[in-house]
Chains A and B, each alone.
Chain A
C-alpha cells in the first residue's frame, strides 16, 4: 500500500463520500468509508463530519500539517446498487485479500474503478418504468384489489414513473415533485374511473402512493440517530416528513378539485 500526498488522499475520500451520499447512504456509513479510504492510503488520523447535504474532512499528517476540505452535495437520488459497489471496493482496500483477487490496490486503479462505478449505467428507462408499474400493481393486489384494478394500477405506475423522470429533469424540489406525482396518480385514477365500471379507487391510489412513500429516508433517519449522528438523523426525519406531507397534499388537493368539478 503506497502513501499518497494529502491532496490526492483528500480528493479520493471526497469522491467516495460524494458517490455514497448522492446515492442515499446513511451518513454514518459515509464517515466510516471515508476514514477507511484515508487509512488505506496512509492517513490514519482523519476526522470527518458528514451531513446529508455536505461533507467536511480533515487529514492529519504525521508532521502536524492539517489539510481540510468541504464538499457540498446536490442532486441526490436513490441508487442502492452504487452504495453496494462502493462499499465493496472500499472494503477490498482494507482487507487486502478479497475474493475478486484485487490485492494491494494502488491509487490509480482505485480511482479507475471509482470512476467506472460513478458513470455506470442504470437499468434502461423502459425497464425502470415497467418495474414501477409492477410495484404499484402488486401492492394494489396485496391490499385486496381485483385483476381489473391491478391492470389500472400497472398503467398508473408506468405513467407516473415516466412523469417523475420528466419532472426531475426540470430540477424542482422534492416536496413539489412528490406532490405533483401524487396528484397525477389521483387524476389518472379518477379519469379512468369515469370509463371503467366497478373498480374501487382506494386500492388503485394506495398502490400508486406506495411508489412515493419515503422508506429509505425512514431507514436512514433511524440508523443515523441510533449511531449518534443527531444532526443527520433529524435532517433525514424531516426529509421523510416533508415527502409524506407532499404526497398527502398532492393527492388530497386533486381529490378535492375533482369533487368540486362535480363528477
Chain B
C-alpha cells in the first residue's frame, strides 16, 4: 500500500472515529475529544507511513509513538490537560490486540513454535511502545529543566 492515497485517508478516518468513541467511553468532554481522536488517527497514519518506507514493524511503532507523544506534549498544555490523558488515548491503536489474539489462537491449535514467535513479537511491540513513551517524557522533563535554568 502506498502512503498518502485514499486508503491511508480511510484508515486515518477509522482510527480517528475509533479513538473518538474511546475518549467518550473514558468520560472526556468538550473540544478535547476531537484532539485526542486526532492523536489516535495520527498515530496509526504515522505507523503506516513509517512501515511503508522502513518495512520494519518495531521501528515504525517506535517512530509513530514518539511523534504522537511529541504532539501530545505540545497540545496538552494548551488545553490545560494532563499529558498522560492524551498519551493514553493515542497509543490505543498500536496496542497489540491482534498479536495477542493470533498467538492465543496458535497456542490453542497446538502450534507451539509459531505461538511463541507470535507472543515474542507481541511482547516486543508492547516494550517498544513503553520505551518510546519513556524517551519522550524524559526528554520533555530535561527540556523543561534546562529552560528553567537559563
CB distance from A176 to the nearest CB of B (A): 18
- Is the beta-carbon distance between B97 and A209 smaller than 8 angstroms? yes
Say what secondary structure dominates the interface of chain A.
helix
Q: B84 and A220: CB pair below 8 A?
A: yes
* Chain B at the A interface: SS class: helix
Q: List 23 A-B contacts (CB under 8 A).
A: A79-B26, A81-B28, A81-B29, A83-B84, A87-B82, A128-B24, A131-B24, A132-B25, A134-B20, A135-B19, A138-B18, A161-B25, A209-B101, A210-B18, A210-B95, A215-B91, A215-B95, A218-B91, A218-B95, A218-B129, A222-B130, A222-B137, A226-B138
Identify which of B26, B92, B134 contacts A80 (C-beta below 8 A): B26
CB contacts (< 8 Å) of B105 on chain A: these are: 255
Interface: A41 (CB within 8 A): no
Mark each residue of chain B from 68 to 85: 1 if its CB lies under 8 Å from any CB of chain A, else 0: 000000000000111011
B17 proximity list for chain A (CB < 8 A): 134, 138
Would you call A209 and B100 a contact (CB within 8 A)?
Answer: yes
Contact, CB under 8 Å: B88 / A219? yes
Give chain A residues whose Cβ lies under 8 Å from the Cβ of B138: 226
Q: Of A87, A123, A256, which one neighbours B24 at CB under 8 angstroms?
A: A123
CB neighbours (8 Å) of A142 from chain B are 11, 14-15, 18, 44, 93
Q: How far is the CB of B125 from chain A (nearest CB, A)?
A: 11
If A138-B18, A209-B100, A251-B101 touch, whether A78 touches B26 (CB-CB below 8 Å) is yes
* Chain B residue at minimum C-beta to C-beta distance from A85: B29
By the criterion CB–CB under 8 Å, are A84 and B85 in contact? yes
- Interfacial chain B residues near A218, Cβ < 8 Å: 91, 95, 126, 129-130
Is there a chain A Cβ closer than 8 Å to B108's Cβ?
A: yes
Whether a CB of chain B sits under 8 angstroms from the CB of A4 is: no
A206 touches B97 (CB 8 A): yes
Give min CB distance, B6 to chain A, whole Å. 14
In residues 138-175 of chain A, which contact B (Cβ within 8 Å)? Answer: 138-139, 141-143, 161
User: Which B residues lie within 8 Å of A88 (CB)?
Assistant: 80
Which of A29, A202, A222 interacts with B82 by CB under 8 Å? Answer: A29
Which of A81, A130, A134, A226 meets B27, CB within 8 Å? A81
List chain B residues, Cβ under 8 A from A105. none
Render A80-94 as a binary contact track against B, CB cut-off 8 A, 1 for contact: 111110011001000
Residues of B within 8 A of A138 (CB): 14-15, 17-18, 21
- Taking beta carbons and an 8 Å cutoff, which residues of A are in contact with B? 25-26, 29, 78-84, 87-88, 91, 122-123, 127-128, 130-135, 138-139, 141-143, 161, 202, 205-206, 209-210, 213, 215-216, 218-223, 225-226, 244, 247-248, 251-252, 255-256, 259
Q: Are B97 and A213 in contact (CB under 8 A)?
A: yes
A-B pairs with lowest CB-CB distance, top 7: A134-B21, A138-B18, A135-B21, A131-B21, A81-B27, A142-B14, A131-B24
Contact B133–A256 (Cβ < 8 Å):
no
Assess whether A256 is in contact with B108, with CB atoms less than 8 Å apart.
Answer: yes
Take A79-B26, A84-B85 as given contacts and tell me if A251 and B104 are in contact as well, using a CB distance cutoff of 8 Å.
Answer: yes
Q: How far is the CA of A142 from the CA of B138 in the complex (A)?
A: 31
Q: Which residues of chain A are within 8 angstroms of B81 by Cβ–Cβ distance?
A: 84, 87
Q: Report Cα–Cα, A147/B94, bound state, in Å.
A: 22
* Least distance between B123 CB and chain A CB atoms (Å): 10
B25 touching A84, Cβ below 8 Å: no
Chain B positions within 8 Å of A78 at CB level: 26-27
Instruction: Collect the chain B residues with CB atoms within 8 Å of residue A252's CB.
Output: 104, 107-108
Beyond A138-B18, A218-B95, whether A248 also contacts B100 by CB under 8 A is yes
Known: A84-B28, A209-B97, A218-B130. A223 touches B85 (CB 8 A): no
Of A25, A209, A226, A256, which is within 8 A of B134 by CB? A226
Q: For residue A248, which residues in chain B have a CB less than 8 angstroms away from its CB? A: 100, 104
